[in-house]
Structure 1
Amino acid sequence: MDLLKQIVERAKAHKQRIVLPEAEEERTLKAADKVLADDIAEIILIGNPENIHRLANEWNLKNIDKATIVDPMNNPKSEEYAKLLAELRKSKGMTIEKARELVKNNLYLGCMIIKTEGADGQISGALSTTGDTLRPALQIIKCEPGITCVSGAMLVLTHEQQYGENGIVVMGDVAVTPNPTADQLAQIAYTTAETAKSVAGFQDPHIAILSFSTKGSATDAKDKTTGKSAYIIDKVIEATKLAKERYPQLKLDGELQADAALDPIVAKKKAPESDIAGKANVLIVPNLEVGNIGYKLIQRLGGATAIGPILQGIARPVNDLSRGCSVEDIYYMVAITACQAQDAKKKV
């Protein structure tokens, strides 16, 4: 778990302001107390102040007074936020009346705090769905410049030190976009490499866009009716081309099978001309089905630790938790979000 310790230390080095909009939820409040005790981030709690203090006393939490508490039902900035939200969404028919209601919603309020530079990132999901977490983020904070596709990366910590970055690989997308286009896949390659740098601390990401083919070893099946390509391998080839053109600074190659991407001996046989084959530490999968199944197989059969998903592509980090998350999960996600926020500020 050395990587998690490194993430915490990077978060501490340049403290960020992280919003927890589900502040009356037990695991969230306990995680906030631990974050504040360890001085990892500044915490903004959204909820009823009386309830938060009552629960903190009930659970013997000693550090909650260090947090900033925002009451969504009695917020002096509500009208300011409502006017801004109505302006941001006027092309979608947003009225000031509707905006006034939405800024009382904890998830929308958190995103408005970030939009007005009062915070640097947000984490929710202990009580909320992924859709509820993402909707206000995309409506208010929006994607980072040049990106139209939100995705999710997973840090996979294995016991096989010879692969990836001393046994660590970053996989994307494992969480959001079911069947990305070639253009979206190219974007996912870029944003996953950024996550590898900002969160996993990779100095030199080597990105492989994966397929069931290595450099033409297989070809797409043809639709019997139309005669058109099934657009599986071809999508990966096109995504690789787009990514190389759009992000020339990236060390990237495709299409590569997983063994050719990770294993130098296999790489010499299957892709001897590739600078990435056998050295990949960032793996881009062709669709969500492959990503989700893949990391869970590594986790269960290989004994790997999977951390995430870490949402990427949003202009300021907004991360989603599993509703089955633990206090420890939220604690480390605060540190991860803080590292992403540090990196986002460098791009401005």
Structure 2
Amino acid sequence: MTRSVYVTGIGRGDGRQVVELGIMELLTRQVDRVGVFRPLGHDGTDPVLGLLTGRYRLGPGDHATGMSYAEAAALQADLGTDELITRLVDRFHTVARDHEAVLVLGTDFADTGLPAELALNARLANEFGAVVLPVVGGLAGPPPAGGTGRRGQSAEALVAEVRNAHDAYTSLGCEVLATVVNRVSDSEALRAALSLGEQLPEPVHVVPEDPALSAPTVRQIADALGARVLQGDQTGMARDVRDFVFGGATIQSFLPALTEGCLVLAPGDRADLVIGALAAHSAGSPPIAGILLTLDLHPGRETLWLAERLAPGTPVLLVPGGSFRIATELSGLEGQLTAASPRKAEIALGLFESHVDTAALSRRLSVVRSDRVTPMMFEHELIERARTDRRHVVLPEGTEERVLRAAEVLLRRNVCDLTLLGEETAVRKRAADLGLDLRLLSADEVAAEDGVTARVVDPQTSPLRERLAEVYAKARRHRGVTYELAYDVVCDVSYFGTLMVHEGLVDGMVSGAAHSTAATIRPAFEVIRTKPDTSIVSSVFFMCLADKVLVYGDCAVNPEPDAEELADIAIQSAATARQFGVEPRVAMLSYSTGDSGSGAEVDKVRRATELVRERRPELLVEGPIQYDAAVEPVVAAAKLPGSEVAGQATVLIFPDLNTGNNTYKAVQRSAGAVAVGPVMQGLRKPVNDLSRGALVQDIINTVAITAVQAQGDPPSERKEPPA
């Protein structure tokens, strides 16, 4: 039977989109087919449904809206509530019958024209057979003019609302899964809401207000005001506006008033304020979101020319009217979770996962976990495993855009601690230009006791340089490396990061978005070296197909492994598969199956298979075997009847790099598989390489894999400065 979760509220402004996103994330971790149903919606685009559709790759049959509020109000008036409920239940089941779980998005209490809206939500939940998750908003009143925040409800008012919500839904016969109190900004109210968890029969989860979620983007402000964009690229327009600063004073008084992430409002003829604000942004003190010029006064070609060179990509907007009118229009504007704001979605998920006991909530959902493993389920599992025993990963490419974007997600999702290498001012400015909130610590700052951290270390100026140079010189003395030479070598970010791993200052390293594989891996070969029982370093890709995850090795490192090396690769790959939840059944691939063929290449695979059986008799392995016989049960039954591996192999070992690399790319492109890797194996400590075409999600996955690999070793000293 389909398990459905009905997320609803008791009024407007509860920010329940955060909860809807969080519940969707929980469901997709456990089952393959999750549907989304909104019983009633407004005419036009549905931003939340659009976000869920894009993020979770929902097809046309995976989501639906029952009808519009206008249709529902008319139907209810003409034919009564029972007829409205009947039609909505029928439409719900068109989604539910093809899915293992359904997320239901309750009404939004905003200009719906429906009487007794809470009771309607309760009845729909009961008719759908759904558990109810009420969301209570912790804020009261609209944002003040010129500000982006709202005052929090008092502790007494908030506690009363939570009790009322619980009593209202349970009195109407609903099974309440839990209650989420969202957007709590008052510390006393926060404590009071948390104490309710001991007084109600269901859990109460409290999620604090996060200004990064409620902050509108520059693009959103431009659209709301109908502003002309005089300057600004896509990245700049996506920056969050965390504050407004009104420019009217002299430049001496104006500059100290600037705050990080502020939008400067000034008349268009104040070229001094425009250039001063952009110069401050260029210096990183502080980085601003952009400039909004009022009174429809164009600043002039020369001013814009200089502005573009001072702060390329930083938005400069032009609107008619004065500052008071603009402030009034912006007073109620808040950020939105939409398909066009994936960064806010990551912030929302990080907030949800940090403050909601997702493990306990998953148990209460009682969803039967799917036997199939989809790419999304595999990625979710990676993140979850990394978070359970948080480690510290160094990212040498500290100014690379994709790396910084991945870093923000990793920090928001509490995946691991990070060290970014690079010149500190350059790293901070690049993050500011991208509108990212990394809250970077300097190399000498001590982190707080809890929460993930990211710090910047500059290899050129770090006190670690001398220590790491001594280590490298000692390790490479047999190659004639002196301390003086080592002192220069360790300035290379790949060597510096690798040596940090070697010395236990961090737990692992991920690089390669802007460096070659050789530049990333060579330092690890020189310093970290292979495990005692391993002869070579190799790699695997996790190939996430529509319904399962296969492990391919070696597709990235060894061009022509001999039989002994091939056996080593197979044993390493089986261990890696098991570490990441894939039960290893190893197929040693060749162009023939069983005893049907001969020749040097087949003999090599046959010998490698024998070596694997000798070294790991408990491991299920078959070879030589062709790919189709390895993965297709019908072919396996004809070619190798009775084999425990044929037709159900999970680890596929290719005879050489040419075959492996081309096969993984063919499957990736032709079958639409998600290829996660290459994941390096055989090193004493984890160092992983990225493709130079890696996407942000690829980097996130690789860092999570590196963190999980490191969980078998003692953790680094993460909280102290690496000096």
Alpha-carbon deviation of 1:343?
A: 3.8
Counterpart for residue 250 of structure 1: 619
- Take 1:219 and 1:232, find their aligned partners in 2: how far apart are those partners? 8
Aligned pairs for 1:1-348 within 5 A:
1-65=376-440, 66-159=453-546, 161=547, 167-199=548-580, 201-202=581-582, 204-220=583-599, 231-343=600-712
The one-character-per-residue Cα deviations of 1:134-175 (angstroms, maximum 9, x if unpaired) are: 11011111112222222221111223x4xxxxx221100111
- Take 2:651 and 2:439, find their aligned partners in 1: how far apart are those partners? 38
Alpha-carbon deviation of 1:263?
A: 2.2
Q: More displaced, 62-71 or 79-88?
A: 62-71
- CA contact 2:676–2:701 (8 Å) conserved in 1: no
Which TM-score applies when normalising by structure 1? 0.90
Does the residue aligned with 1:52 lie in a helix, a strand or coil?
helix
Number of equivalent positions: 328
- CA contact 2:390–2:707 (8 Å) conserved in 1: yes
- Take 2:467 and 2:457, find their aligned partners in 1: how far apart are those partners? 15
Amino acid at match of 1:284: I
- Take 2:461 and 2:662, find their aligned partners in 1: how far apart are those partners? 45
- Take 1:307 and 1:236, find their aligned partners in 2: how far apart are those partners? 26
Counterpart for residue 323 of structure 2: none
The one-character-per-residue Cα deviations of 1:54-76 (angstroms, maximum 9, x if unpaired) are: 22222221124231221101111
- Take 1:248 and 1:150, find their aligned partners in 2: how far apart are those partners? 22
Structure showing greater relative contact order (alpha-carbon pairs closer than 8 Å, 6 or more residues apart) = 1
- CA contact 2:397–2:513 (8 Å) conserved in 1: yes
Amino acid at match of 2:594: K
- Take 2:608 and 2:642, find their aligned partners in 1: how far apart are those partners? 19
- Take 2:666 and 2:594, find their aligned partners in 1: how far apart are those partners? 25
Does the residue aligned with 2:469 lie in a helix, a strand or coil?
helix
- CA contact 1:33–1:64 (8 Å) conserved in 2: no
Counterpart for residue 225 of structure 1: none
- Take 1:280 and 1:246, find their aligned partners in 2: how far apart are those partners? 19
- Take 1:248 and 1:113, find their aligned partners in 2: how far apart are those partners? 37
**Change in 2 beyond 3 A, CA 1:345/1:294:** farther
Does the residue aligned with 1:232 lie in a helix, a strand or coil?
helix
- Structure 2: runs of 5+ lacking an equivalent: 1-375, 441-452, 716-723
The one-character-per-residue Cα deviations of 1:286-328 (angstroms, maximum 9, x if unpaired) are: 0111111112222222222222221222111111111112222
- Take 1:80 and 1:301, find their aligned partners in 2: how far apart are those partners? 49
- Take 1:156 and 1:90, find their aligned partners in 2: how far apart are those partners? 41
Alpha-carbon deviation of 1:272?
A: 2.3
- Take 2:613 and 2:590, find their aligned partners in 1: how far apart are those partners? 17
The one-character-per-residue Cα deviations of 1:158-206 (angstroms, maximum 9, x if unpaired) are: 23x4xxxxx221100111111111111011101111221223x22x211
- Take 1:69 and 1:305, find their aligned partners in 2: how far apart are those partners? 31
- Take 2:555 and 2:417, find their aligned partners in 1: how far apart are those partners? 29
Counterpart for residue 223 of structure 1: none
- CA contact 1:36–1:64 (8 Å) conserved in 2: no
- Take 1:319 and 1:25, find their aligned partners in 2: how far apart are those partners? 17
Does the residue aligned with 1:126 lie in a helix, a strand or coil?
coil
- Take 2:610 and 2:532, find their aligned partners in 1: how far apart are those partners? 20
Amino acid at match of 2:566: L
- Take 1:130 and 1:313, find their aligned partners in 2: how far apart are those partners? 16
Alpha-carbon deviation of 1:215?
A: 1.1
The one-character-per-residue Cα deviations of 1:109-156 (angstroms, maximum 9, x if unpaired) are: 111111111111101111110000011011111112222222221111
Alpha-carbon deviation of 1:248?
A: 2.6
**Change in 2 beyond 3 A, CA 1:344/1:266:** farther
Alpha-carbon deviation of 1:264?
A: 2.5
- Take 2:657 and 2:711, find their aligned partners in 1: how far apart are those partners? 28
Does the residue aligned with 2:688 lie in a helix, a strand or coil?
strand
Counterpart for residue 226 of structure 1: none
- Take 2:629 and 2:695, find their aligned partners in 1: how far apart are those partners? 36
Counterpart for residue 228 of structure 1: none
- Take 1:73 and 1:284, find their aligned partners in 2: how far apart are those partners? 42
- Structure 1: runs of 5+ lacking an equivalent: 162-166, 221-230
- Take 1:309 and 1:79, find their aligned partners in 2: how far apart are those partners? 32
Q: More displaced, 54-63 or 14-23?
A: 54-63
Alpha-carbon deviation of 1:265?
A: 2.7
- CA contact 1:198–1:343 (8 Å) conserved in 2: no
- Take 2:702 and 2:692, find their aligned partners in 1: how far apart are those partners? 14
- Take 1:156 and 1:315, find their aligned partners in 2: how far apart are those partners? 24
**Change in 2 beyond 3 A, CA 1:248/1:64:** farther
- Take 1:139 and 1:179, find their aligned partners in 2: how far apart are those partners? 21
- Take 1:5 and 1:261, find their aligned partners in 2: how far apart are those partners? 27
Does the residue aligned with 1:27 lie in a helix, a strand or coil?
helix
**Change in 2 beyond 3 A, CA 1:337/1:261:** same
Q: More displaced, 233-242 or 312-321?
A: 312-321
Which TM-score applies when normalising by structure 2? 0.44
Does the residue aligned with 1:212 lie in a helix, a strand or coil?
coil
RMSD: 1.6
- Take 1:275 and 1:331, find their aligned partners in 2: how far apart are those partners? 35
